[in-house]
Amino acid sequence: MPSRRSALSLFAGAGAALALGAPTAQARPTGHRPFGRYGSPSRRLDPLTLYVDPHGRGDFTDVRSALDAATGTGRTLVIAPGTYRGKLTVTAGRTGLTLIGASGDPRDTVIVHDDAAGTPRPDGSGTLGTSGSASVTVQAADFTARGLTFSNDWLRSDNPEYTGTQAVAIKVQGDRSAFHGCRFLGHQDTLYADTPALTAFARQYYRDCYVEGDVDFVFGRATAVYDRCHFRTLTRTDLASAPYGFVFAPSTAGASPRGYLVLRSRITSTAPDAYYKLARPWVPSSDPTARPMLTVRDTHLGAGIDAAAPYGTMSSGFPWQDQRFAEYRNTGPGARITVPDNRPQLTAAEARAHTPAGWLGDWRPGA
């Protein structure tokens, strides 16, 4: 019988396969070629590429050691299949870093840790907080990840005494950060798409990715595009009634012209019908001038989304109706417009500005 953590990963992997498609046979490394088409230490793609393999066939056996060695700009880490446990930080000086899962299937290569916001700091000075819980933190600009899973497998059920149950899989702050074919696994606050400062409008792009969770599991201040992604809301055993949670919780700075854009995507659920809200605005105490922005367009909303009341309010004084929430041409049972006042819609003219090019400006992330 698999553990609760392994069962979660197995289930999520099946869902992600639907979103990402099966890898080609050529993409998967064999036992003698753990790095697939990406070379090896003896056939290095270029001097800036390092190889990670838990069985000792690379330059390093763990990602943290490889990251420590990857100083400067423009480095690449090719990571062989395996589960790599431990916290990672991509510091601001490591610009242009690329992480590649060698098999082409994100289920094969997992970077994971298990801290929560309520986890005590090792020095006894309090708890880690939401940001400190992140398994991976990306501060550098021009970061790219391909074919990887980022996970936080901390569980509420294992720690009923905790009040800080946020458990971030990855916190991304760098401008021009791109993720292709990646998975993000967690429960509360899974994917923290943020910026390094209130005045920094960091741009991020997520293509063909899978994200799962329950409470505010895609959140933060970034200008972020989620293109052809799959969002999955999870069943909760600790709550007896709806709502179980919210998919998106943007905290866009008031001065930022763009927040979250979701397009050509889908939202599915393992929970009962209408037990999830699509979004709520996060106006943090550190920025009471925030005006969260979310556009969801051309996306299939499954029955797990409450169609009659898809938005909620996190803090009194900052109702969702005062924020920049909008939809356009969504489909599915969760997109039915039964109460028009609860479903703000873009006009066709307005929708022409809500595109990846409109969000990302002069940056064109690669395929």
Q: Where in the sequence numbering do the catalytic residues fall? A: 189, 216
What is the 8-class DSSP label of residue 130?
Answer: H
State how far the alpha carbon of 21 is from the alpha carbons of 15, 16, 24, 208, in Å. Answer: 10, 8, 9, 9
Per the listing, tokens 């703000």 go with 344
**171 in helix, strand or coil?**
strand
Residue 65, Cα to own-chain centre: how many angstroms? 24
> Tokens standing for 15?
């869902």
Q: For residues 208 and 229, is the Cβ–Cβ distance under 8 A?
A: yes
Q: What are phi and psi of 359, to 5 degrees?
A: -85, -40
Q: Which residues pair with 192 in a beta bridge?
A: 171, 219
- Tell me whether residue 242 is exposed, middle or buried, using C-beta atoms within 10 angstroms of its C-beta: 0 to 12, 13 to 18, 19 or more: middle
What's the Rg (C-alpha) of the chain? 20
Residue with tokens 């790095």: 35
Handedness of CA 104, 150, 19, 354 (dihedral sign): negative
What is the 3-state composition of the chain as percent helix, strand, coil, each rounded to the nearest 5? 15, 30, 55
Distance, in Å, from the CA atom of 324 to the CA atom of 281, rounded to the nearest integer, reads 9
In single-letter form, the type of residue at position 60 comes to: F
Closest alpha carbon to 17 in 188, 207, 230? 230
- As beta bridge partners, residue 327 has 296, 345
Q: Identify residue 103 by its one-letter amino acid code.
A: S
